[in-house]
Chain A
Amino acid sequence: MVNIEIDGKQVSVPKGCTILDGARENGVYIPHFCYHKKLSIAANCRMCLVQVEKAPKPLPACATPVMDGMKIYTNSEQANTAQKGVMEFLLINHPLDCPICDQGGECQLQDLAVGYGASGSRYQEAKRVVENKNLGPLISTDMTRCIHCTRCVRFGQEIAGIMELGMAGRGEHAEILSFVGKTIDSELSGNVIDLCPVGALVSKPFRYSARTWELSRRKSISPHCGLGSNLVVQVKQNQVMRVLPRDNEEINECWLSDKDRFAYEGLNSEDRLTQPMIKRDGHWVACDWQQALEFAANGLNGAKQKYSAQAIGALASPHSTMEELYLLQKLMRAIGSGNIDHRLRQSDFRADTQLQGIPWLGTDIADISVLKSVLVIGSTLRKDHPLIAQRLRQAAKDGMQLNVVNPIDDDLLTNVANKTIVAPHGLAMALAEILKAAIEIKGAERTAELNQMIEAVGVLNTTNIAIASSLIDNEPSAIYLGNLAQHHPDYSSIHLLAGAIAQITGASFGFLGEAANNVGAYLVGATPTFSALSTSQLSGLNAAQMLGASDQGNEKCQAFILMNVEPEYDAYNSQQALKTIKSAEFVVSMSAYKGNATDYTDVLLPIAPFTETSGTYINTEGRVQSFNGVATPMGETRPAWKVIRVLANMLKLEGFDHDTPEQVRAEIFKDGSDIGNHLNNDLKSFDIQINENHAESIQRIGEVPIYRADPIVRRAESLQMTHDAAAPRAWMSSELLQRLDINAGDNVSVKQGDGTVQLEAACDEKLPANSVRIACAHPNTIALGAMFGEISVEKL
């Protein structure tokens, strides 16, 4: 600490901090534009000039380190003249038309001009006009308003990891632009809207739709990925108009992914289901809640009588709230069925009975920032977890070694220390190699279990040895399983191996949670076999079994309750899921959207999305985050917890007397237990043979595209116009293209199971041999089958 004097006040500030930081810590505000706490210091706006004793000229507070005994005057005549002079310069070429600027009312330039600007302008010359740029569907530009602070440029270089904006030209001709003809495609792009202190970069979807002072600001939690970003949802006349980040250093910092930011458009989609509907004699009719719920209860009772309670299954989205999931599993078990699952994209459930606790991240999210080595297994990291990727990027800058074992080799926009890119069926073997290398390096005791895992390993590949040593030599280290690993048909082996590597190397081990509430779903027993709660013990079929994926004859469900689920997009095998559900006796869908549900359901119950109900998400680090609704439910929509409660009442089930979600929450946490006690990624020992796996046929790598992952984002119009939402193509290496006699750009016929689709072939040289990468969860590919496994590609 050093002692300095700010405006006559003696204060003590950390050694080496800047004047601006030191002043802020002591409650003294110094005006600024280019400075931002998360970005490098540019010192280009000159707004923060202050007087420093003995300095011949005013100094920029943002870039000047404090020195012991320094006397700083933020408000002296010299400081004031300098600040006002800069403000005048900023305003001479700025269009002073705040009433027609979208930033009006939330503009830093406007705010500071009140304090530092003059009431009239001395500038009598012509003003500069700058051509607007097309930066894509999310960011709208008014480049004449730009004050050249370069926050957006630095954000790209330093946070998003890709420089998509730059300042070209010199002097007065300097302007911010993207590369010629290119849009801004980063999955974090929307943050530049928040960063821009003026109205140069504004939200395209929000533009001219409301004024900041007309909006109510309500706290919420993002319902998308497992991060649980903290949101401010802005509402006007009961409609969500905009979503902004709420600072939480431990989760999303001050950022949001574009998915979290722009998905709100889906809430106002025309596809919203706003009235209960039932299918009577083959025709869909709108009805009231009483009729619809009676119809649903009768249908479920009928199925129970015709088959058995075990023939009824419930599939719930992991984007549902903890309260909804709890009540749904309670209802199912009260009926007498343990068939409930939220893991619709999981295909390998062998480890289910071996789970020791709820799979979670294994560390706090914030701890990612201090890691020295990381192994990410099976992940489309940037797209599935944009802000975790960002944290890893910052850690990599601080010297963390990023290691990757993956079937794909997308650019992570950071330094990757070691990567093993293998076809999906080789993933487990690659991990076994890393495990063996770790055992050898550490000289660890080879238990029978370990031996079984590594016995098929032959000669070790140097990259895998390097990955093992990276994890061993650098503390703290961590291993994370991404979405691809969790969907993988050999997920149990991957889980077991990754856990073993963690144990040997001393790394922490966890899962990058795919959805907002995976942890919550496990906690409340929205799984057929595992539950942390004593109240949900009845076991049953998992999602794959319910949908008929089992080899055991015709093990599948005859009636379904779907909650926020669109099986054609949300299931591991869309083809099979649709087939089973279409052939079911009775299907109840609780959903915020109509979608294609009329094709395969019997009753549609409109339930509230996260903005129209209160609820709780437990994020991937096990943080319980409750939120309130920010708008009243649209039309006849009702919160799902209420709908389930009344449905249970109609089914004459006991224990459904909740009047508020708080009561549901209290029931879940009734023993007051700490969720931390239930988080555990270990597996009991079980037999899994890891074999060298040679697939002769062509294998699919099916990922869920970033903007197809959940029902809300699928309906977010602007996100659907981005580069990331482009129609799926059949990606393969040039070697495979050649072998199949296909040229990139050709239309090809892709066949999987009973389904055939036509797609454009494309070349990705970094894909492993014999692999075709085809996205799922898209209308163009739902006719195909499983996300992984055999697939055939033919020239048309």
Chain B
Amino acid sequence: MKEYPLTLLNGVDSSNPDNWRLRSYEAREGYAALKKILSKRITPEEIIEEVKKSALRGRGGAGFPTGLKWSFMPKNYDGDKYIVCNSDEGEPGTFKDRDIMHFNPHLLIEGMIIAAYAMGVKAGYNYIHGEIWATYERMEEAVDEARAAGYLGDNILGSSFSFNLYNHHGYGAYICGEETALLESIEGKKGQPRFKPPFPANYGLYGKPTTINNTETFASVPWLIRNGGEAYLNLGKPNNGGTKIFSVSGHVNKPGNYEIPMGTPFAELLELAGGMRGGRKLKGCIPGGSSMPVLPGDIMMEADMDYDSIAKAGSMLGSGAVIIMDDTTCMVRALERLAYFYFEESCGQCTPCREGTGWLYRIVNRIEHGKGRPEDLDLLDNIADNIQGRTICALGDAAAMPVRAMIQHFRDEFTYHIEHKKCMV
């Protein structure tokens, strides 16, 4: 099998129970990037420049250029600023951040320290999904190790730079992965997204300037600092720098996390994951987590795994959760399950999402149970249209996009369901 360069899972051995510890991490060039910055007195501006050069884009789903985001933080701000790591990985199909934290926790810690240095921040929070308790406990241990070794705390490695990192766990609400709901949750309030503007860079945690990045984004930083932004960019392709972990699930022989360079053909990723289960045909694939539009198998087989290629194919790379569906999959049932998720996880704050997600689910549920009506498909599309772009946060869009894509690509199957009151497959 083809060997791919690794920036995140390099040297990671999940079968070795001590491989995640500080000593092992240091043995694989861990904290070398931090030491390089502090010993060579690399300035924060130089770091941000390097990150910009790398074309690292946010791995949480939106793909926003990381260097640009970091440069939004007010520089000469008189008061506290924060960085927050969004480890509230709740998107169905996504399980990469869990593995980064579980098997390579110091990579995240080092990435956050560098980010804090680059943005002049003294405190950071790592908000961990409430349903991966063992990982939360491991992060706590790792932070203790880093603090004991002088990587965290006051005057890190004898420098004048101080940074404290706190792990904070949620309770499993999907909405808390929305960055402003996450901030509310850290503040001890009900996790509900805030209206933007103001954006967190101006008014974030406790009303202070705050930068929020995904776990994988922070974890990408140490390698690119060690090897330079240019080298990172070259691993991938222009505007899509570096490597990325894809969580492959569904009807493949070897579901799991696979780190590959950006721009790797989907076919190669499918091969890495052991190919289709039972040699069946790829019917459809959701390439970026459950909230992204589904793509038919033939379109998918032609696509490359990077932000721009997937967007061109008609979906989004999102968090990199690749959900594989073979030809035994009933798309109505699949959509019913997805619609139920968004219905259940809507925070209820704003009207279109609170009312619309339930309506969508109920209609799809009716179709699945043989009580569909011919006008339902246009109605579904119209309801989704009325939700999309009208809500406070992106959960409304996340609920709407799968519905619209499913009907767009698999309309025949839905029509069959309605007419015959049963499944096509």
Contacts and interface: CB of A to CB of B under 8 A. Distances in A.
Nearest to A60: B195
A172 B346 contact: yes
Interface stretch (A43-51, A586-594, A761-769): A43-51
Contacts of B392: 43-44
A58 B389 contact: yes
Contacts of B359: 89, 92, 123, 125
Interface string B329-356: 0000000000000011111111111111
A49 B391 CA distance: 10
B391 A46 contact: yes
B225 to A, nearest CB: 35
B356 A89 contact: yes
Contact of A148 (B175, B351, B366, B386): B351
Contact of B351 (A41, A46, A57, A126): A46
B23 interface: no
Contacts of B362: 125-126
A82 interface: yes
B355 A43 contact: no
A99 interface: no
B348 A167 contact: yes
B357 interface: yes
B275 interface: no
Contact of A46 (B344, B347, B350): B350
B133 to A, nearest CB: 21
A92 B355 contact: yes
Interface residues of A, number: 37
Contacts of B356: 89
Nearest to B376: A124
Contact of B344 (A89, A122, A125, A171): A171
Secondary structure of the A contact surface, majority rule: loop
A174 B348 contact: yes
Interface string A118-130: 0000110110100
A147 B351 contact: yes
B409 interface: no
Contacts of B352: 46, 85-86, 89
A379 to B, nearest CB: 33
A148 B355 CA distance: 11
A21 interface: no
Nearest to B385: A85
A86 B387 CA distance: 8
A212 interface: no
Contacts of A128: 358
A737 B351 CA distance: 54
B301 interface: no
A170 interface: yes
B173 interface: yes
Contact of B390 (A86, A122, A123): A86
A170 B379 contact: no
A63 B195 contact: yes
Nearest to B375: A122
A720 interface: no
A587 B330 CA distance: 92
Contacts of B390: 46, 49, 57-58, 82, 85-86
B346 A45 contact: no
Nearest to B174: A170
A125 B358 CA distance: 10
A170 B348 contact: yes
Interface in B386-401: 386, 389-392
Contact of B347 (A92, A125, A170): A170
Contact of B386 (A65, A88, A125, A147): A88
Given A57-B390, A85-B390, A171 B348 contact: yes
Contacts of A60: 195
Of B173, B356, B366, the most chain A CB neighbours within 10 A belong to: B356
A90 interface: yes
A282 interface: no
Contacts of A49: 390
Contacts of B391: 46
A173 B344 CA distance: 9
B70 to A, nearest CB: 25
Of B175, B358, B391, the most chain A CB neighbours within 10 A belong to: B358
A171 B386 contact: no
Contacts of A171: 343-348, 353-354, 357-358
Contacts of B197: 65
A45 B348 contact: no
A32 to B, nearest CB: 12
A172 B379 contact: no
A56 interface: yes
A44 B350 CA distance: 4
Contact of A43 (B195, B346, B363): B195
Interface string A74-87: 00000001100110
A538 B325 CA distance: 100
B362 to A, nearest CB: 4
A169 interface: yes
Contacts of B366: 125
A92 B352 CA distance: 11
Nearest to A47: B351
Given A171-B357, A171-B358, A45 B351 contact: yes
Interface string A395-410: 0000000000000000
Interface string A199-230: 00000000000000000000000000000000
B386 A85 contact: yes
A93 interface: yes
A172 B389 contact: no
Given A43-B392, A57-B389, A58-B390, A90 B355 contact: yes
B311 to A, nearest CB: 15
Contacts of A147: 351
Nearest to A173: B348
A170 B345 contact: yes
B350 A43 contact: yes
14 contacts: A45-B350, A81-B386, A82-B390, A89-B354, A89-B359, A125-B366, A148-B349, A167-B348, A167-B349, A169-B348, A171-B343, A171-B346, A172-B343, A172-B358
Instruction: Sort A-B residue pairs by CB-CB distance and give the 6 closest, nearest first.
Output: A174-B348, A85-B386, A57-B389, A171-B346, A89-B355, A43-B195
Given A171-B346, A171-B354, 6 more contacts: A44-B350, A93-B358, A148-B351, A171-B343, A171-B358, A174-B347
